Amino acid sequence: MTPDPNNRRVILGLSGGVDSAVAALLLRDAGAEVHALHMTNWEDEDGYCSAADDLQDARRICEQLDIPLHHVNFAKQYRDRVFQYFLDEYAAGRTPNPDVLCNREIKFGVFREHAKRLGGELLATGHYARTALIDGTTHLLKGADLNKDQSYFLHAVSEEALGETVFPLGDLTKDEVRRIARDHGLAVHDKRDSTGICFIGERPFRQFLSTYLPANPGPIRTPDGAEVGQHHGLMYYTLGQRQGLGIGGRADAGDAPWYVVDKDAAENALIVAQGDTDLLLSDGLTALEASWINGPPDGLGDGLRCVAKVRYRQPDQGCEVSPLPGGSLAVSFDQPQRAVAPGQYVVFYLGDRCLGGAVIDQIHRISDAGSAIMRAPGDLAGHG
């Protein structure tokens, strides 16, 4: 583990799941003085979020491992720093990714500050990621289990915070983590992984979002302007979506599936097309608000050759990144990318090293024919 936790007080973010439970076990066995800190980030009154059950699981884990448990409520900070951004982005027609902000603002922000007040020398989480200290500089690396690697979500965390963080699971696979939990009799060894966003839980996304943002139904149209249905509100849809459109089986169309290919904000129209369409392909993008973990990388000014991901778990995509006036970035891909969503993040890598990332602002499609593409920021997006 980097840094070495032996004989140091480590404050571990303990969610109540198997990953953070095994992280606690490994830290304890590595000689750390482990204190667990469980966060409440969302106060749910309708029972969809599992926060109460997770807290009880965290208590049982700490009792079994004989480590102290602290509990802190960051619900207000989460609403102010993460959830409000989430709503603002959807209102602007974009696709936000709250996990990136949650890491930067909560887990490695207010959580880190609280951990220091508890006497913590180091922070630890159950993320599948690694760090490496090279010539006095902390670098973020992909986790060994590339299917679970979470460096994508950590790209906006500061180098300083990463230098004080231990990722005990970085060299393990998910199967190995569950095996360790089972071998040590941890009750959460077979607990289902959480999916999606905690504050949405298992409830329907449309139902949740409509309680905060007014729906605005409108027409569903083809690229040539033919109306083929009605949508419930542009914010409920994402580029590339094929489920839930309600336009299948039309007598005047073939059997090929329909896909969302665009949003016409001016007309409040959802644009759809059938089959394998070039309207979902883009060969580049522009991005804003770049976060470079170790500062802008060498060679950026001349066009940096690297690889990138425009969504979690996407295979690495070859690209060239160049700075634009005003601090934005231009990204050109070696191969066209499908259904890139503004509001999401493009994250850059050199080998296993995560360089940082930026917010996708505009996409550059390989074909504009017949499309009602809106080039202004915020006109394209939806729920991913």
As a whole number of angstroms, the distance between CA 292 and CA 157 comes to: 9
pLDDT of residue 131: 98
Task: Specify the pLDDT at position 166.
Answer: 98
Per-residue pLDDT for 79 more than 50?
yes
Report pLDDT for 63.
Answer: 97
How many C-beta neighbours within 10 Å does residue 53 have? 11
In the CATH hierarchy, which fold is given to the domain comprising 209-277?
SH3 type barrels. (2.30.30)
pLDDT band at 194 (very low <50, low <70, confident <90, very high): confident
Are the C-beta atoms of 236 and 81 separated by less than 8 Å?
no
Give domain limits for the chain.
Answer: 9-183, 209-277, 279-365
E strand or H helix at 55? helix 51-65
Q: What is the rounded average pLDDT of the residues 339-356?
A: 96
**Per-chain mean pLDDT for the chain:** 90
Q: Which of the four pLDDT bands, split at 50, 70 and 90, describes residue 208?
A: confident
Beta strands in the chain (DSSP E): 9-13, 33-40, 69-73, 122-124, 129-134, 137-142, 165-166, 218-221, 227-231, 258-264, 269-274, 281-292, 304-309, 317-323, 329-338, 345-350, 353-365
Looking at residue 370, its pLDDT comes to 36
Q: Residue 189 — very low, low, confident or very high, per pLDDT cuts 50/70/90?
A: very high
- 279-365 maps to CATH 3.40.190.10: no
DSSP state of 278: G
Mean pLDDT of 180-191: 94
In CATH terms, the superfamily for domain 9-183 is HUPs (3.40.50.620)
| pLDDT tens digits, 282-333 | 999 999 999 999 999 999 999 999 999 999 999 999 999 999 999 999 999 9
320 touches 331 (CB < 8 A): yes
Tens digits of residue pLDDT in 260-292: 999 998 999 999 999 889 999 999 999 999 999
Q: What is the pTM of this model?
A: 0.91
Q: What is the DSSP secondary-structure string of 161-183? A: HHHTEE-TTTT--HHHHHHHHHH
Question: Any catalytic annotation for residue 198?
Answer: yes
What pLDDT, on the 0 to 100 scale, is given for residue 381? 35
pLDDT > 70 fraction of the chain, expressed in percent and rounded? 90
Q: Of 102, 306, 319, 354, which is the active-site residue?
A: 102
pLDDT over 80 (residue 339): yes
pLDDT at 107: 96
Catalytic choice (49, 198, 306, 319):
198
pLDDT at 206: 84
Determine which of 125-129, 159-163, 169-173, 299-303 has the lowest per-residue pLDDT on average.
299-303
53: three-class secondary structure by DSSP: helix
Q: Check pLDDT > 60 for residue 100.
A: yes
Q: Is the pLDDT of residue 198 over 80?
A: no
> Which range among 40-44, 49-53, 187-191, 351-355 shows the weakest confidence by mean pLDDT?
49-53
